[in-house]
Amino acid sequence: MISRSSHWRSPLRGPWLTSVLGLVLLVGMTVLFLTGLASYAAYNPDLPGNDLTPGRGLLGWYLFAWPTRPVWLYRLNQGVHVTLGIVLVPVLLAKLWSVIPKLFIWPPARSVAQALERASLFLLVGSAIFEFATGIINIQYWYAFPGSFYSLHLYGAWVFIAAFTVHVAFRIPLMVRALRSRSLRTELRTGTAGTRPEPPDEHGLVATDPAPPTMSRRGALGLVGAGSLTLLVVTVGQSLGGPLRRTALLAPRGQVLGDGPNDFQINKTAASAGVTAARTGADWRLELRGDGEPLVLSRAELLALPQHDAELPIACVEGWSTDAQSWSGVRLIDLAGLVGLPGAASVLVESVERGGAFAAATLRRNQILDPLSLLALRVNGVDLSLDHGFPARVIVPANPGVHNTKWVAAMTFAPR
């Protein structure tokens, strides 16, 4: 097999550098895939009305009842998923740069095994770029998708992991040999003047006519590492909170909004959801449905019920989260008891909002029973603001933010 182009002359390219970058991606991509699967499970897509990816079929084989403890579980999962995905962007770009000569190998395959490997490489590169691109677009709230982000991202993830698995199976022996061929410590001590091309390889990565080095492998790895570190600094604060929140320059929901009791991050404002004060004012009522006739309660009647407190953050799929807020309201299990279903299997929570993708959500039994699961009426000692869900919103530990339904209008409890 020969290269169809002599343009790729960098003396840095070779199996060793590619394998170092590949090892980082092997670990990082595996974590991304697993946290992505966990994120999908957190939406309880097997419950009625929650599945945004109809037709997932066998892709949902692993689904399980998402737990409510620890209360920071979803915050941690999405923080790792989104932050790691952003941090790996320079590594992915460097890896693609390191293997680009392979795109010009001719003929592209000389055996069935090679053809399978090349096909998996095509799917791997395409699906990786697709997953990173759609993920970054989503966390920037630019919904430029031909369909639902959740469906596209889920299907893309499974295409990626299938191609990734085939590629690793073919390449892991080569990667191990390449990593053993050179010492990382030695390379990190070698400057530009001492940089030499790797020995010629059968896979076409090493330039046949290498140019003089303008950077060492140490410099290349340092450049990639510096890029990843920079992205970490300007992103991670949206998940960790505290002083680092001010450094989250690339996070639309990562910034400090103020020091008032309702001045914490909001995913969707009331105005953007079409919710007005007129629809949530004095005439607002909560309808509870269960075993028997519906029960209709005003906000004053809800406030007259036993009130409970919960210290919980809000965490969203885009990776941002709030610090823990002090919520107070009525426990979901108590509301279930009011309609004769204290052991309800699920509850459908419907919002005053109309037409939004998450205007309704179904919660599982374990979420209803958790003593920290509330229909919140107040936060940090004051009434909820309209943007935070006044007159009432759901707050459930370890629950995706969009399933903590705001502006609640009705709750339908289902028997076991």
Note the pLDDT tens digit of each residue in 358-388.
899 999 999 999 999 999 999 999 999 999 9
- Kindly provide the residue ranges of all beta strands, DSSP E only, lying in 266-342, ordered along the sequence: 286-289, 295-297, 308-312, 325-331
Which residues in the chain land under pLDDT 70?
Answer: 1-6, 104
Token pair in block for residue 84: 């790691």
198-228: burial string, b at 16+ Cβ within 10 Å, e else: beeeebbbbbeebeebeebbbbbbeebeebb
What was the pLDDT predicted at 208?
A: 86
pLDDT tens figures, 110-156:
788 778 777 878 899 999 999 999 999 999 888 777 778 888 999 99
Please, are residues 367 and 68 in contact by the beta-carbon 8 Å criterion? Answer: yes
Sequence-distant (6+) residues with CB within 8 A of 96 are 125
Q: How far apart are CA 304 and CA 308, in angstroms?
A: 12
- Kindly provide the residue ranges of all beta strands, DSSP E only, lying in 72-201, ordered along the sequence: 105-106
Instruction: Kindly list the structural domains of the chain, giving each domain's residue range(s) and its CATH number in brackets, ordered by start.
Output: 2-247 (no CATH), 277-414 (3.90.420.10)
Q: What is the pTM of this model?
A: 0.92
What was the pLDDT predicted at 6?
A: 63
Closest CA relative to residue 96, chosen from 114, 122, 119: 122
Polymer length in residues for the chain: 416
Q: How far apart are CA 316 and CA 264, in angstroms?
A: 13
